[in-house]
Chain A
Amino acid sequence: MSFLSSYIHYVGCFSLILIGLYVVLVKPNLIKVIIGINLIDTGVNLFLIAVGYIRAGTAPIFSEAALQADKMVDPVPQALVLTAIVIGVSVLALALALAIRVYGHYGTLDLRRIKGLRW
Protein backbone atom coordinates (compact mmCIF):
# COMPACT_ATOMS: atom_id res chain seq x y z
CA MET A 1 0.00 0.00 0.00
CA SER A 2 2.78 2.38 0.91
CA PHE A 3 4.51 1.44 -2.35
CA LEU A 4 1.43 2.36 -4.33
CA SER A 5 0.87 5.65 -2.55
CA SER A 6 4.48 6.78 -2.86
CA TYR A 7 4.89 5.76 -6.51
CA ILE A 8 1.34 6.46 -7.66
CA HIS A 9 2.43 9.02 -10.28
CA TYR A 10 4.84 6.56 -11.90
CA VAL A 11 2.16 3.85 -11.88
CA GLY A 12 -0.26 6.34 -13.45
CA CYS A 13 1.99 7.50 -16.26
CA PHE A 14 3.21 4.04 -17.20
CA SER A 15 -0.37 2.73 -17.25
CA LEU A 16 -1.21 5.59 -19.61
CA ILE A 17 1.73 4.62 -21.85
CA LEU A 18 0.67 0.97 -21.83
CA ILE A 19 -2.95 1.83 -22.60
CA GLY A 20 -1.72 3.91 -25.54
CA LEU A 21 0.50 1.06 -26.71
CA TYR A 22 -2.42 -1.35 -26.45
CA VAL A 23 -4.58 0.94 -28.59
CA VAL A 24 -1.81 1.27 -31.21
CA LEU A 25 -1.26 -2.47 -31.38
CA VAL A 26 -4.86 -3.70 -31.31
CA LYS A 27 -7.19 -1.15 -32.89
CA PRO A 28 -7.58 -1.35 -36.68
CA ASN A 29 -8.92 2.21 -37.07
CA LEU A 30 -6.26 4.72 -38.09
CA ILE A 31 -7.79 7.57 -36.06
CA LYS A 32 -7.83 5.37 -32.94
CA VAL A 33 -4.19 4.46 -33.54
CA ILE A 34 -3.33 8.16 -33.73
CA ILE A 35 -5.22 8.70 -30.45
CA GLY A 36 -3.13 5.87 -29.00
CA ILE A 37 0.07 7.64 -30.08
CA ASN A 38 -1.21 10.76 -28.36
CA LEU A 39 -1.91 8.80 -25.15
CA ILE A 40 1.67 7.51 -25.21
CA ASP A 41 2.92 11.08 -25.65
CA THR A 42 0.86 12.28 -22.71
CA GLY A 43 2.07 9.41 -20.55
CA VAL A 44 5.69 10.20 -21.36
CA ASN A 45 5.16 13.88 -20.57
CA LEU A 46 3.63 12.99 -17.21
CA PHE A 47 6.58 10.70 -16.55
CA LEU A 48 9.04 13.52 -17.21
CA ILE A 49 7.13 15.80 -14.81
CA ALA A 50 7.04 13.03 -12.20
CA VAL A 51 10.83 12.67 -12.40
CA GLY A 52 11.29 16.25 -11.21
CA TYR A 53 8.46 16.24 -8.66
CA ILE A 54 8.94 16.77 -4.94
CA ARG A 55 6.15 15.99 -2.49
CA ALA A 56 4.51 19.24 -1.35
CA GLY A 57 6.88 21.22 -3.57
CA THR A 58 6.22 24.67 -5.00
CA ALA A 59 6.77 26.23 -8.39
CA PRO A 60 10.43 27.06 -9.00
CA ILE A 61 9.93 30.85 -8.92
CA PHE A 62 11.50 33.07 -6.28
CA SER A 63 8.42 35.23 -5.87
CA GLU A 64 8.95 35.76 -2.13
CA ALA A 65 12.17 36.13 -0.20
CA ALA A 66 11.15 33.41 2.29
CA LEU A 67 11.00 30.66 -0.36
CA GLN A 68 13.66 27.98 -0.11
CA ALA A 69 15.16 26.28 -3.17
CA ASP A 70 14.95 22.80 -1.60
CA LYS A 71 11.16 22.96 -1.50
CA MET A 72 10.89 23.66 -5.21
CA VAL A 73 10.26 21.11 -7.93
CA ASP A 74 12.93 20.63 -10.57
CA PRO A 75 12.29 23.09 -13.44
CA VAL A 76 14.37 21.26 -16.06
CA PRO A 77 11.87 18.43 -16.76
CA GLN A 78 9.13 21.04 -17.08
CA ALA A 79 11.14 22.80 -19.76
CA LEU A 80 11.65 19.45 -21.47
CA VAL A 81 7.92 18.73 -21.36
CA LEU A 82 7.13 22.09 -22.97
CA THR A 83 9.36 21.11 -25.89
CA ALA A 84 7.95 17.58 -25.98
CA ILE A 85 4.38 18.91 -26.08
CA VAL A 86 5.18 21.10 -29.06
CA ILE A 87 6.79 18.16 -30.85
CA GLY A 88 3.83 15.95 -29.98
CA VAL A 89 1.35 18.46 -31.36
CA SER A 90 3.21 18.77 -34.65
CA VAL A 91 3.45 15.01 -35.05
CA LEU A 92 -0.27 14.74 -34.27
CA ALA A 93 -1.16 17.42 -36.83
CA LEU A 94 0.93 15.73 -39.50
CA ALA A 95 -0.55 12.33 -38.65
CA LEU A 96 -4.10 13.62 -39.02
CA ALA A 97 -3.22 15.37 -42.30
CA LEU A 98 -1.80 12.11 -43.64
CA ALA A 99 -4.86 10.22 -42.39
CA ILE A 100 -7.05 12.54 -44.48
CA ARG A 101 -4.84 11.80 -47.51
CA VAL A 102 -5.03 8.06 -46.88
CA TYR A 103 -8.81 8.26 -46.54
CA GLY A 104 -8.98 10.18 -49.81
CA HIS A 105 -7.08 7.45 -51.65
CA TYR A 106 -8.45 4.31 -50.06
CA GLY A 107 -11.91 5.42 -48.92
CA THR A 108 -11.38 3.72 -45.58
CA LEU A 109 -9.47 4.18 -42.34
CA ASP A 110 -9.33 0.44 -41.62
CA LEU A 111 -5.64 -0.42 -41.44
CA ARG A 112 -6.38 -4.02 -42.46
CA ARG A 113 -7.59 -2.79 -45.83
CA ILE A 114 -4.87 -0.19 -46.50
CA LYS A 115 -2.42 -2.56 -48.11
CA GLY A 116 -1.15 -0.94 -51.29
CA LEU A 117 2.44 -1.59 -50.27
CA ARG A 118 3.81 -4.87 -49.05
CA TRP A 119 7.09 -6.64 -48.42
Chain B
Amino acid sequence: MVSPVLLIAVPLGLAFAASLVGLASKRLTKFVPVVAMLFNLVVSVSLLPVAFRAPIIVRTAGWAPPFSIHLVAGPLGLLLSCLIAFIGLLVAVYGMGYIREGAQAKYHVLYILILVGATGMVLTGDIFNLFVFFEILCISSYALVAYRGDSAGAEAGIKYLLQGAIGSSLVLIGIGLVYGMFGTLSMADIAANVRSVSTFRLFVSLAFLITGFGVEAAVFPLNAWLPDAHSSAPSSISAILSGIAIKAGVYAIARMVYTIYGAQSTLPCVAVIGVATLLVGEMCAFNQSDIKRLLAYSSIGQMGLIVFGLGMASVIGVSAALFVIFSHALAKALLFLASGYMIYRSGSREISSLDGMGTRMPLTSLCFAIGAFSLIGLPPFVGFASKFMIVRAALATADPFFVVLLAIALVGTVIEGAYFLRIVQGLYFKPTPEEAPEEGTRKEAPLSALVPVGVLAALIVAVGIYPGLVGRALGPAANDLLDRDGYVERVMGD
Protein backbone atom coordinates (compact mmCIF):
# COMPACT_ATOMS: atom_id res chain seq x y z
CA MET B 1 0.00 0.00 0.00
CA VAL B 2 1.31 3.45 -0.87
CA SER B 3 1.34 6.02 1.86
CA PRO B 4 -1.08 8.98 1.59
CA VAL B 5 1.89 11.26 2.32
CA LEU B 6 2.82 10.84 -1.34
CA LEU B 7 -0.42 12.58 -2.33
CA ILE B 8 1.14 15.75 -0.91
CA ALA B 9 4.88 15.10 -1.27
CA VAL B 10 5.00 14.09 -4.94
CA PRO B 11 3.03 17.04 -6.38
CA LEU B 12 4.87 19.41 -4.04
CA GLY B 13 8.20 18.09 -5.31
CA LEU B 14 7.01 18.21 -8.91
CA ALA B 15 5.80 21.80 -8.45
CA PHE B 16 9.30 22.98 -7.76
CA ALA B 17 10.80 20.57 -10.24
CA ALA B 18 8.58 22.21 -12.86
CA SER B 19 10.60 25.40 -12.80
CA LEU B 20 13.82 23.36 -13.18
CA VAL B 21 12.27 21.47 -16.09
CA GLY B 22 11.41 24.87 -17.52
CA LEU B 23 15.12 25.75 -17.56
CA ALA B 24 15.90 22.67 -19.64
CA SER B 25 12.97 22.85 -22.02
CA LYS B 26 10.19 25.44 -22.06
CA ARG B 27 7.75 23.10 -23.76
CA LEU B 28 7.98 20.34 -21.15
CA THR B 29 6.78 22.47 -18.21
CA LYS B 30 3.13 22.23 -19.15
CA PHE B 31 3.16 18.45 -18.83
CA VAL B 32 4.30 18.52 -15.20
CA PRO B 33 0.87 19.39 -13.69
CA VAL B 34 -0.71 16.64 -15.78
CA VAL B 35 1.78 14.09 -14.45
CA ALA B 36 1.36 15.28 -10.86
CA MET B 37 -2.43 15.13 -10.95
CA LEU B 38 -2.49 11.81 -12.78
CA PHE B 39 -0.31 10.39 -10.01
CA ASN B 40 -2.62 11.83 -7.34
CA LEU B 41 -5.71 10.46 -9.04
CA VAL B 42 -4.29 6.95 -9.36
CA VAL B 43 -3.03 6.87 -5.76
CA SER B 44 -6.25 8.34 -4.32
CA VAL B 45 -8.44 5.88 -6.18
CA SER B 46 -6.24 2.94 -5.21
CA LEU B 47 -6.36 3.98 -1.53
CA LEU B 48 -10.15 4.48 -1.46
CA PRO B 49 -11.16 0.86 -0.69
CA VAL B 50 -8.62 0.71 2.16
CA ALA B 51 -9.82 3.98 3.64
CA PHE B 52 -13.44 2.86 3.54
CA ARG B 53 -12.56 -0.06 5.81
CA ALA B 54 -10.55 2.07 8.26
CA PRO B 55 -8.95 5.50 7.91
CA ILE B 56 -5.23 5.42 7.21
CA ILE B 57 -3.28 7.27 9.92
CA VAL B 58 0.16 8.46 8.85
CA ARG B 59 2.55 9.27 11.67
CA THR B 60 5.48 11.56 11.18
CA ALA B 61 8.85 10.92 12.81
CA GLY B 62 7.54 7.83 14.57
CA TRP B 63 5.48 9.72 17.16
CA ALA B 64 1.95 8.50 17.73
CA PRO B 65 -0.92 11.02 17.68
CA PRO B 66 -1.49 13.45 19.44
CA PHE B 67 2.23 14.35 19.62
CA SER B 68 2.98 14.47 15.93
CA ILE B 69 1.63 16.15 12.86
CA HIS B 70 -0.37 13.32 11.40
CA LEU B 71 -2.42 12.76 8.29
CA VAL B 72 -5.83 11.12 8.55
CA ALA B 73 -6.85 9.73 5.18
CA GLY B 74 -10.45 8.81 5.94
CA PRO B 75 -13.30 8.21 3.48
CA LEU B 76 -14.15 11.91 3.27
CA GLY B 77 -10.56 13.08 2.86
CA LEU B 78 -9.74 10.58 0.13
CA LEU B 79 -13.02 11.14 -1.68
CA LEU B 80 -12.32 14.87 -1.82
CA SER B 81 -8.71 14.24 -2.79
CA CYS B 82 -9.96 12.08 -5.70
CA LEU B 83 -12.24 14.93 -6.76
CA ILE B 84 -9.41 17.48 -6.49
CA ALA B 85 -7.03 15.30 -8.49
CA PHE B 86 -9.67 14.57 -11.14
CA ILE B 87 -10.72 18.19 -11.70
CA GLY B 88 -7.06 19.20 -11.41
CA LEU B 89 -6.06 16.72 -14.11
CA LEU B 90 -8.74 17.89 -16.55
CA VAL B 91 -7.97 21.56 -15.99
CA ALA B 92 -4.24 20.87 -16.35
CA VAL B 93 -4.92 19.29 -19.76
CA TYR B 94 -6.99 22.34 -20.66
CA GLY B 95 -4.26 24.68 -19.44
CA MET B 96 -1.67 23.10 -21.78
CA GLY B 97 -3.29 24.80 -24.74
CA TYR B 98 -5.05 27.69 -23.06
CA ILE B 99 -2.11 29.35 -21.29
CA ARG B 100 -0.03 30.82 -24.09
CA GLU B 101 1.20 34.15 -22.79
CA GLY B 102 2.82 35.42 -19.61
CA ALA B 103 5.19 33.57 -17.29
CA GLN B 104 4.07 30.05 -18.13
CA ALA B 105 6.50 28.18 -15.89
CA LYS B 106 5.30 30.19 -12.88
CA TYR B 107 1.69 29.49 -13.83
CA HIS B 108 2.26 25.74 -13.76
CA VAL B 109 4.17 25.87 -10.45
CA LEU B 110 1.44 27.91 -8.75
CA TYR B 111 -1.26 25.76 -10.31
CA ILE B 112 0.17 22.61 -8.72
CA LEU B 113 0.59 24.45 -5.41
CA ILE B 114 -3.14 25.35 -5.28
CA LEU B 115 -4.01 21.68 -5.67
CA VAL B 116 -1.38 20.59 -3.13
CA GLY B 117 -2.85 23.05 -0.64
CA ALA B 118 -6.36 21.72 -1.18
CA THR B 119 -5.25 18.07 -0.97
CA GLY B 120 -3.30 18.77 2.22
CA MET B 121 -6.29 20.49 3.80
CA VAL B 122 -8.58 17.53 3.29
CA LEU B 123 -6.02 14.95 4.44
CA THR B 124 -4.46 16.53 7.50
CA GLY B 125 -5.36 15.66 11.08
CA ASP B 126 -3.63 18.62 12.67
CA ILE B 127 -5.29 21.99 13.03
CA PHE B 128 -2.17 24.09 12.46
CA ASN B 129 -1.14 21.99 9.50
CA LEU B 130 -4.59 22.71 8.11
CA PHE B 131 -3.78 26.40 8.41
CA VAL B 132 -0.44 25.99 6.62
CA PHE B 133 -2.01 24.15 3.67
CA PHE B 134 -4.80 26.72 3.66
CA GLU B 135 -2.18 29.44 3.26
CA ILE B 136 -0.42 27.55 0.47
CA LEU B 137 -3.75 27.42 -1.35
CA CYS B 138 -4.55 31.08 -0.68
CA ILE B 139 -1.19 32.60 -1.56
CA SER B 140 -0.92 30.74 -4.85
CA SER B 141 -4.47 31.69 -5.76
CA TYR B 142 -3.81 35.39 -4.98
CA ALA B 143 -0.90 35.27 -7.41
CA LEU B 144 -2.82 33.39 -10.11
CA VAL B 145 -5.81 35.75 -9.99
CA ALA B 146 -3.40 38.51 -11.01
CA TYR B 147 -1.66 36.24 -13.56
CA ARG B 148 -2.65 38.24 -16.63
CA GLY B 149 -1.25 41.43 -15.10
CA ASP B 150 -4.05 43.60 -16.50
CA SER B 151 -5.78 46.23 -14.39
CA ALA B 152 -8.76 44.01 -13.53
CA GLY B 153 -6.48 41.15 -12.48
CA ALA B 154 -4.27 43.32 -10.27
CA GLU B 155 -7.25 44.98 -8.63
CA ALA B 156 -9.08 41.71 -8.03
CA GLY B 157 -5.86 40.13 -6.76
CA ILE B 158 -5.17 42.85 -4.20
CA LYS B 159 -8.81 42.84 -3.02
CA TYR B 160 -8.72 39.08 -2.62
CA LEU B 161 -5.37 39.27 -0.84
CA LEU B 162 -6.44 41.91 1.67
CA GLN B 163 -9.62 40.06 2.61
CA GLY B 164 -7.89 36.69 2.60
CA ALA B 165 -5.05 37.93 4.81
CA ILE B 166 -7.47 39.19 7.45
CA GLY B 167 -9.34 35.89 7.26
CA SER B 168 -6.10 33.96 7.79
CA SER B 169 -5.24 36.13 10.79
CA LEU B 170 -8.62 35.31 12.32
CA VAL B 171 -7.98 31.61 11.76
CA LEU B 172 -4.61 31.94 13.48
CA ILE B 173 -6.17 33.71 16.49
CA GLY B 174 -8.70 30.88 16.66
CA ILE B 175 -5.90 28.31 16.60
CA GLY B 176 -4.05 30.22 19.34
CA LEU B 177 -7.18 30.19 21.51
CA VAL B 178 -7.66 26.47 20.89
CA TYR B 179 -4.04 25.74 21.79
CA GLY B 180 -4.40 27.86 24.93
CA MET B 181 -7.42 25.83 26.02
CA PHE B 182 -6.32 22.31 25.14
CA GLY B 183 -2.55 22.44 24.80
CA THR B 184 -2.70 20.33 21.65
CA LEU B 185 -3.13 20.84 17.94
CA SER B 186 -4.32 17.36 17.00
CA MET B 187 -7.93 17.46 15.83
CA ALA B 188 -8.75 14.12 17.46
CA ASP B 189 -7.21 15.13 20.79
CA ILE B 190 -9.15 18.41 20.80
CA ALA B 191 -12.36 16.59 19.90
CA ALA B 192 -11.84 14.17 22.80
CA ASN B 193 -11.39 16.97 25.35
CA VAL B 194 -13.79 19.55 24.01
CA ARG B 195 -16.34 19.01 26.80
CA SER B 196 -13.82 20.00 29.49
CA VAL B 197 -14.01 23.72 28.61
CA SER B 198 -16.81 26.22 29.19
CA THR B 199 -19.22 26.83 26.31
CA PHE B 200 -18.40 30.52 26.08
CA ARG B 201 -14.69 29.94 25.47
CA LEU B 202 -15.49 27.31 22.86
CA PHE B 203 -17.89 29.68 21.17
CA VAL B 204 -15.33 32.51 20.92
CA SER B 205 -12.67 30.30 19.33
CA LEU B 206 -15.18 28.65 16.99
CA ALA B 207 -16.43 32.09 15.90
CA PHE B 208 -12.89 33.13 14.96
CA LEU B 209 -12.30 29.90 13.02
CA ILE B 210 -15.63 29.97 11.16
CA THR B 211 -15.24 33.63 10.20
CA GLY B 212 -11.67 33.07 9.04
CA PHE B 213 -12.41 30.04 6.90
CA GLY B 214 -15.69 31.64 5.85
CA VAL B 215 -13.76 34.25 3.86
CA GLU B 216 -12.30 31.53 1.65
CA ALA B 217 -15.61 29.65 1.54
CA ALA B 218 -17.33 32.88 0.38
CA VAL B 219 -20.32 32.61 2.69
CA PHE B 220 -22.44 35.73 2.92
CA PRO B 221 -21.43 38.43 4.02
CA LEU B 222 -17.74 37.52 3.45
CA ASN B 223 -18.03 36.98 -0.31
CA ALA B 224 -17.15 40.42 -1.69
CA TRP B 225 -13.85 39.21 -3.19
CA LEU B 226 -15.23 36.24 -5.10
CA PRO B 227 -16.92 37.75 -8.17
CA ASP B 228 -13.92 39.96 -8.91
CA ALA B 229 -11.33 37.26 -8.35
CA HIS B 230 -13.15 34.49 -10.23
CA SER B 231 -13.99 36.68 -13.19
CA SER B 232 -10.57 38.34 -13.56
CA ALA B 233 -8.51 35.14 -13.36
CA PRO B 234 -7.72 33.09 -16.49
CA SER B 235 -10.62 30.70 -17.17
CA SER B 236 -8.66 27.62 -16.16
CA ILE B 237 -7.92 29.21 -12.77
CA SER B 238 -11.54 30.31 -12.38
CA ALA B 239 -12.51 26.68 -12.84
CA ILE B 240 -10.14 25.56 -10.09
CA LEU B 241 -11.10 28.40 -7.74
CA SER B 242 -14.81 27.72 -8.17
CA GLY B 243 -14.54 23.97 -8.34
CA ILE B 244 -11.94 23.29 -5.65
CA ALA B 245 -10.66 26.25 -3.63
CA ILE B 246 -13.92 27.47 -2.10
CA LYS B 247 -14.88 23.85 -1.33
CA ALA B 248 -11.72 23.53 0.73
CA GLY B 249 -12.92 26.44 2.88
CA VAL B 250 -16.28 24.75 3.40
CA TYR B 251 -14.54 21.49 4.26
CA ALA B 252 -12.51 23.29 6.94
CA ILE B 253 -15.67 24.83 8.45
CA ALA B 254 -17.45 21.47 8.42
CA ARG B 255 -14.48 19.74 10.07
CA MET B 256 -14.40 22.39 12.80
CA VAL B 257 -18.13 22.45 13.50
CA TYR B 258 -18.81 18.72 13.33
CA THR B 259 -15.74 16.70 14.17
CA ILE B 260 -13.76 18.99 16.44
CA TYR B 261 -16.36 20.99 18.33
CA GLY B 262 -19.45 18.82 17.90
CA ALA B 263 -21.29 22.15 17.99
CA GLN B 264 -24.68 21.00 16.74
CA SER B 265 -26.40 23.96 18.41
CA THR B 266 -24.78 26.48 16.04
CA LEU B 267 -26.13 24.64 13.01
CA PRO B 268 -29.53 26.37 12.55
CA CYS B 269 -27.56 29.62 12.35
CA VAL B 270 -25.24 28.02 9.76
CA ALA B 271 -28.28 26.91 7.74
CA VAL B 272 -29.73 30.45 7.76
CA ILE B 273 -26.36 31.85 6.59
CA GLY B 274 -26.36 29.24 3.85
CA VAL B 275 -29.80 30.23 2.56
CA ALA B 276 -28.90 33.94 2.74
CA THR B 277 -25.73 33.22 0.72
CA LEU B 278 -27.81 31.30 -1.81
CA LEU B 279 -30.35 34.08 -2.30
CA VAL B 280 -27.76 36.88 -2.50
CA GLY B 281 -25.63 34.91 -4.98
CA GLU B 282 -28.51 34.00 -7.27
CA MET B 283 -30.06 37.46 -7.24
CA CYS B 284 -26.74 39.13 -8.09
CA ALA B 285 -26.08 36.56 -10.81
CA PHE B 286 -29.42 37.35 -12.39
CA ASN B 287 -28.36 40.96 -13.02
CA GLN B 288 -24.99 40.27 -14.63
CA SER B 289 -24.22 40.87 -18.27
CA ASP B 290 -20.65 39.48 -18.01
CA ILE B 291 -20.63 35.69 -18.43
CA LYS B 292 -17.72 34.98 -16.04
CA ARG B 293 -19.13 37.28 -13.36
CA LEU B 294 -22.46 35.53 -13.70
CA LEU B 295 -20.80 32.13 -13.21
CA ALA B 296 -18.90 33.48 -10.18
CA TYR B 297 -22.11 34.70 -8.53
CA SER B 298 -23.75 31.42 -9.33
CA SER B 299 -20.87 29.75 -7.42
CA ILE B 300 -21.79 31.83 -4.37
CA GLY B 301 -25.35 30.58 -4.72
CA GLN B 302 -24.25 26.95 -4.89
CA MET B 303 -22.00 27.42 -1.86
CA GLY B 304 -25.11 28.57 -0.01
CA LEU B 305 -26.83 25.33 -0.96
CA ILE B 306 -23.85 23.31 0.31
CA VAL B 307 -23.76 25.20 3.62
CA PHE B 308 -27.53 24.74 3.96
CA GLY B 309 -27.11 20.98 3.49
CA LEU B 310 -24.32 20.89 6.08
CA GLY B 311 -26.53 22.82 8.50
CA MET B 312 -29.06 20.01 8.68
CA ALA B 313 -26.81 17.89 10.91
CA SER B 314 -28.18 14.58 9.67
CA VAL B 315 -26.27 11.91 7.76
CA ILE B 316 -28.48 12.41 4.74
CA GLY B 317 -28.14 16.21 4.92
CA VAL B 318 -24.33 16.05 5.01
CA SER B 319 -24.32 13.41 2.24
CA ALA B 320 -26.50 15.72 0.17
CA ALA B 321 -24.08 18.61 0.77
CA LEU B 322 -21.17 16.40 -0.33
CA PHE B 323 -23.13 15.41 -3.41
CA VAL B 324 -23.67 19.09 -4.26
CA ILE B 325 -19.92 19.69 -3.76
CA PHE B 326 -19.30 16.92 -6.30
CA SER B 327 -21.91 18.01 -8.84
CA HIS B 328 -21.02 21.69 -8.56
CA ALA B 329 -17.30 20.99 -8.99
CA LEU B 330 -18.03 19.10 -12.23
CA ALA B 331 -20.57 21.53 -13.62
CA LYS B 332 -18.84 24.79 -12.70
CA ALA B 333 -15.43 23.58 -13.95
CA LEU B 334 -17.16 22.60 -17.21
CA LEU B 335 -18.89 25.98 -17.55
CA PHE B 336 -15.74 28.01 -16.90
CA LEU B 337 -13.65 25.87 -19.25
CA ALA B 338 -16.25 25.99 -22.03
CA SER B 339 -16.85 29.71 -21.64
CA GLY B 340 -13.06 30.28 -21.69
CA TYR B 341 -12.82 29.39 -25.38
CA MET B 342 -16.17 30.98 -26.24
CA ILE B 343 -14.84 34.26 -24.84
CA TYR B 344 -11.56 33.70 -26.66
CA ARG B 345 -13.33 33.22 -30.00
CA SER B 346 -15.92 35.97 -29.64
CA GLY B 347 -13.47 38.42 -28.08
CA SER B 348 -15.88 39.66 -25.44
CA ARG B 349 -17.24 38.57 -22.08
CA GLU B 350 -20.69 40.07 -22.68
CA ILE B 351 -23.42 37.45 -22.64
CA SER B 352 -24.96 38.97 -25.77
CA SER B 353 -21.74 38.31 -27.71
CA LEU B 354 -22.23 34.57 -27.13
CA ASP B 355 -25.49 34.60 -29.14
CA GLY B 356 -25.51 32.09 -31.94
CA MET B 357 -22.53 30.14 -30.55
CA GLY B 358 -24.59 26.96 -31.01
CA THR B 359 -23.86 27.03 -34.71
CA ARG B 360 -20.35 28.46 -34.47
CA MET B 361 -18.96 26.13 -31.78
CA PRO B 362 -21.50 23.28 -31.62
CA LEU B 363 -19.62 20.84 -29.37
CA THR B 364 -18.52 23.45 -26.81
CA SER B 365 -22.02 24.90 -26.75
CA LEU B 366 -23.58 21.48 -26.24
CA CYS B 367 -21.29 20.83 -23.25
CA PHE B 368 -21.99 24.31 -21.89
CA ALA B 369 -25.72 23.63 -22.09
CA ILE B 370 -25.28 20.31 -20.26
CA GLY B 371 -23.37 22.06 -17.48
CA ALA B 372 -25.96 24.83 -17.22
CA PHE B 373 -28.85 22.34 -17.09
CA SER B 374 -27.04 20.35 -14.43
CA LEU B 375 -26.59 23.47 -12.25
CA ILE B 376 -30.27 24.36 -12.60
CA GLY B 377 -31.11 20.82 -11.53
CA LEU B 378 -32.83 19.40 -14.59
CA PRO B 379 -32.97 15.61 -14.87
CA PRO B 380 -31.17 13.50 -16.06
CA PHE B 381 -28.07 15.47 -15.05
CA VAL B 382 -26.16 15.10 -11.79
CA GLY B 383 -27.37 18.46 -10.49
CA PHE B 384 -30.89 17.07 -10.31
CA ALA B 385 -29.82 14.11 -8.21
CA SER B 386 -27.88 16.31 -5.78
CA LYS B 387 -30.58 18.94 -5.40
CA PHE B 388 -33.20 16.23 -5.00
CA MET B 389 -31.14 14.78 -2.16
CA ILE B 390 -31.06 18.21 -0.44
CA VAL B 391 -34.87 18.38 -0.73
CA ARG B 392 -35.23 14.86 0.65
CA ALA B 393 -32.88 15.63 3.54
CA ALA B 394 -34.74 18.82 4.46
CA LEU B 395 -38.10 17.03 4.40
CA ALA B 396 -36.64 14.14 6.41
CA THR B 397 -35.79 16.46 9.30
CA ALA B 398 -39.59 17.05 9.65
CA ASP B 399 -38.71 20.41 11.21
CA PRO B 400 -40.82 23.36 9.98
CA PHE B 401 -37.73 25.58 10.27
CA PHE B 402 -35.78 23.59 7.66
CA VAL B 403 -38.82 23.16 5.42
CA VAL B 404 -39.33 26.94 5.30
CA LEU B 405 -35.62 27.44 4.54
CA LEU B 406 -35.89 24.80 1.83
CA ALA B 407 -38.77 26.69 0.24
CA ILE B 408 -36.64 29.85 0.15
CA ALA B 409 -33.72 27.85 -1.28
CA LEU B 410 -35.95 26.52 -4.05
CA VAL B 411 -36.90 30.08 -4.98
CA GLY B 412 -33.15 30.57 -5.52
CA THR B 413 -33.19 27.61 -7.89
CA VAL B 414 -35.96 29.24 -9.91
CA ILE B 415 -33.86 32.41 -10.30
CA GLU B 416 -30.93 30.20 -11.32
CA GLY B 417 -33.12 28.55 -13.94
CA ALA B 418 -34.12 31.96 -15.29
CA TYR B 419 -30.62 33.22 -15.99
CA PHE B 420 -29.09 29.96 -17.21
CA LEU B 421 -31.97 29.30 -19.59
CA ARG B 422 -31.55 32.83 -20.91
CA ILE B 423 -27.92 32.09 -21.81
CA VAL B 424 -28.73 28.73 -23.38
CA GLN B 425 -31.52 30.35 -25.37
CA GLY B 426 -29.00 32.91 -26.63
CA LEU B 427 -26.56 30.15 -27.61
CA TYR B 428 -29.04 28.33 -29.80
CA PHE B 429 -31.98 30.52 -30.78
CA LYS B 430 -30.52 33.97 -31.35
CA PRO B 431 -28.74 35.07 -34.51
CA THR B 432 -25.02 35.81 -34.40
CA PRO B 433 -24.50 39.49 -33.56
CA GLU B 434 -23.66 41.63 -36.58
CA GLU B 435 -20.42 43.10 -35.27
CA ALA B 436 -18.92 39.70 -34.38
CA PRO B 437 -15.48 39.22 -35.88
CA GLU B 438 -16.08 36.69 -38.64
CA GLU B 439 -12.46 35.57 -38.82
CA GLY B 440 -11.82 32.52 -36.65
CA THR B 441 -15.09 32.60 -34.77
CA ARG B 442 -16.42 29.55 -36.56
CA LYS B 443 -13.63 27.37 -35.26
CA GLU B 444 -14.30 24.78 -32.59
CA ALA B 445 -12.13 24.85 -29.45
CA PRO B 446 -8.86 22.86 -29.78
CA LEU B 447 -8.64 19.22 -28.73
CA SER B 448 -6.86 19.96 -25.45
CA ALA B 449 -9.96 21.93 -24.41
CA LEU B 450 -12.61 19.69 -25.95
CA VAL B 451 -11.38 16.55 -24.20
CA PRO B 452 -11.68 17.88 -20.59
CA VAL B 453 -14.97 19.59 -21.37
CA GLY B 454 -16.32 16.45 -23.03
CA VAL B 455 -15.20 14.20 -20.17
CA LEU B 456 -16.88 16.48 -17.63
CA ALA B 457 -20.10 16.56 -19.66
CA ALA B 458 -20.09 12.78 -20.06
CA LEU B 459 -19.57 12.33 -16.34
CA ILE B 460 -22.39 14.75 -15.52
CA VAL B 461 -24.77 12.70 -17.65
CA ALA B 462 -23.45 9.32 -16.45
CA VAL B 463 -23.67 10.12 -12.73
CA GLY B 464 -26.99 11.84 -13.36
CA ILE B 465 -28.43 8.62 -14.76
CA TYR B 466 -26.82 6.35 -12.15
CA PRO B 467 -26.48 8.49 -9.00
CA GLY B 468 -25.48 5.29 -7.19
CA LEU B 469 -22.00 5.55 -8.75
CA VAL B 470 -21.18 8.31 -6.27
CA GLY B 471 -24.12 7.99 -3.91
CA ARG B 472 -22.85 4.86 -2.22
CA ALA B 473 -19.61 6.52 -1.18
CA LEU B 474 -21.33 9.55 0.34
CA GLY B 475 -22.80 7.80 3.37
CA PRO B 476 -19.45 6.64 4.84
CA ALA B 477 -17.91 10.02 4.01
CA ALA B 478 -20.70 11.84 5.87
CA ASN B 479 -20.22 9.45 8.78
CA ASP B 480 -16.53 10.33 8.81
CA LEU B 481 -17.57 13.91 9.51
CA LEU B 482 -20.40 13.22 11.98
CA ASP B 483 -19.10 10.29 14.02
CA ARG B 484 -16.84 12.15 16.47
CA ASP B 485 -16.28 9.32 18.93
CA GLY B 486 -15.35 6.96 16.12
CA TYR B 487 -12.94 9.54 14.69
CA VAL B 488 -11.20 10.07 18.03
CA GLU B 489 -10.99 6.35 18.66
CA ARG B 490 -9.56 5.51 15.26
CA VAL B 491 -6.93 8.25 15.34
CA MET B 492 -5.87 7.93 18.97
CA GLY B 493 -6.56 4.21 19.32
CA ASP B 494 -3.23 2.67 18.47
Please give the residue numbers on chain A whose beta carbons come within 8 Å of chain B beta carbons, in ascending order.
17, 21, 24, 30, 33-34, 37, 40-41, 44, 47-48, 51-52, 74, 76-77, 80, 83-84, 87, 90-91, 94-95, 98-99, 101-102, 104-106, 114, 116-117, 119
Contact = CB atoms under 8 A, between A and B. Distances in A.
Given A87-B135, A101-B149, A48 B176 contact: yes
B173 A119 contact: no
Contacts of B156: 117
Interface stretch (B162-170, B192-200, B246-254, B438-446): B162-170
B179 interface: yes
Given A51-B180, A106-B151, A119-B284, A98 B132 contact: no
A98 B173 contact: no
B176 A51 contact: yes
A84 B172 contact: yes
B331 interface: no
Given A24-B166, A37-B165, A117-B232, A102 B158 contact: yes
Nearest to B143: A94
19 contacts: A17-B173, A34-B162, A40-B166, A44-B172, A48-B179, A52-B179, A84-B172, A87-B132, A90-B139, A91-B139, A91-B161, A94-B143, A98-B142, A99-B158, A105-B150, A106-B151, A116-B151, A116-B152, A117-B156
B320 to A, nearest CB: 30
Interface in B4-57: none
A94 B161 contact: yes
- Count chain B CB atoms within 10 A of each CB in A24, A77, A117, A119 and give the residue with the most: A117
Nearest to B179: A51
Contact of A17 (B150, B155, B169, B228): B169
A105 B151 contact: yes
Contacts of B168: 87, 91
B487 interface: no
A76 to B, nearest CB: 7
A98 B151 contact: no
B162 A117 contact: no
Contacts of A119: 227, 284
A95 B161 contact: yes
A101 B179 contact: no
Given A117-B232, A119-B284, A83 B176 contact: no
B402 interface: no
Contacts of A30: 158
A105 B154 contact: yes
Contact of A44 (B158, B176, B232): B176
